[in-house]
Structure 1
Amino acid sequence: MTQATDVEPGPVETMFAADLASRNLGIELTHHGEGTAEVRMTVTPAMVNGHRIAHGGYLFLLADTAFACACNSHGPVTVAAAADIVFIAPAHEGDVLVATACERTRYGRSGIYDVSVRRGDEVIAEFRGRSRSLRSEKTKESR
């Protein structure tokens, strides 16, 4: 007989649960591990611009959400210091997009993460984010 135990949510689950911007757009956290994360979103009619393609801001937000989950996987509260995106192909209404983030390096309180946004097997955008962990208010150890 197995006994159920209450498992404390980790930093990624805690952050994502409070991320109303991402969750209200239907973004789902499908996988995360140390320095990695994967999120998924379906392009809705409200996300389509005047050219009948997904507005780039929504693709950026999807990639940024994967980035946030990956860089917060280590525990300290971590935010974006800078980010950029290259749009390779358009997304359309109804497309299911998956953003996969991967840590490239961490040094001190800083990190670099790459995110690929895919529609099926096709890469439609590449994002690079630079992160910065916030100082601990308890110890001021990162000053």
Structure 2
Amino acid sequence: MGQPAHDTTTAESQTPNTSTPAEAAPESPTEATTPSPADAPTEAAPELTGAAAMFANDRASQHLGITVDDHGPGWAQCSMTVTDIMTNGHDITHGGYIFLFADTTFAMACNYPGSITVASGGDIDFLKPTYLGDELVARGHEVIKQGRSGIYDVTVTRGDDIIATYRGRSRTLPARK
């Protein structure tokens, strides 16, 4: 996952990419070649900020296989495949995993570069069950942002079926002193 690919700054002017981008396989450290000093980059890689920085340290979401397909200020799209560890005693996906998935997408949408934004609350409605092996997509967008507070909606789908809707409330923290 890299920096946001879009320069939009308001939810009203955004057009999130809802198609699945072609994914390039990242080069593993064992396959990398050591560049010679002449091949070394002259500039350091840009420091991750906002959603990219937050996700880089989000071990819980990464452990569950959640991927960030794309994001920009005020919106995000993530994917997750239901694994056996995520199913409950009814052989359906435990609601807590669906909530976590939607909440991760919400976090990607509300963490603008340069800000640290956290959830002040969130609610979810489960509409249909999901099962082992289901591929889920969550799309979140900013409804409104006023000052340090915001409201974001996330729709979780399996194919054409909406399986859950989530509403998150955010609070941007003041800069550290």
In structure 1, distance between residues paired with 2:129 and 2:43:
45
Of 58, 61, 64 in structure 2, the residue corresponding to residue 25 of structure 1 is: 64
Partner AA of 1:107 in structure 2: Q
Segments of structure 2 that go 5 or more residues without pairing to the other structure are 1-41
- Contact between 1:35 and 1:74, CA under 8 Å: does it hold in 2? no
Of 44, 48, 60 in structure 1, the residue corresponding to residue 87 of structure 2 is: 48
Segments of structure 1 that go 5 or more residues without pairing to the other structure are 139-143
Partner AA of 1:59 in structure 2: I
Give the structure 2 partner of residue 135 of structure 1: 174
TM-score (norm 2): 0.73
Give the structure 1 partner of residue 115 of structure 2: 76
Partner AA of 1:91 in structure 2: T
RMSD over equivalenced CA pairs, Å: 1.5
Give the structure 1 partner of residue 51 of structure 2: 12
TM-score (norm 1): 0.90
Give the structure 1 partner of residue 10 of structure 2: none
Does residue 62 of the first structure (1) align with residue 106 of the second (2)?
A: no
Give the structure 1 partner of residue 152 of structure 2: 113
Secondary structure at the aligned position of 1:31 is classed as strand
Partner AA of 1:116 in structure 2: T
Deviations 1:33-74 (A, max 9, x none): 110011110000110000110000000000000000100025
Partner AA of 2:58 in structure 1: D
In structure 1, distance between residues paired with 2:114 and 2:78:
19
In structure 2, distance between residues paired with 1:93 and 1:136:
42
Deviations 1:97-128 (A, max 9, x none): 01111000000100000000000111100000
Give the structure 1 partner of residue 164 of structure 2: 125
Residue 12 of structure 1: CA displacement?
1.2
**Runs of 4+ residues deviating >2 angstroms:** 3-10
Work out which of the two has the higher radius of gyration on C-alpha atoms and give 1 or 2: 2
Give the structure 2 partner of residue 141 of structure 1: none
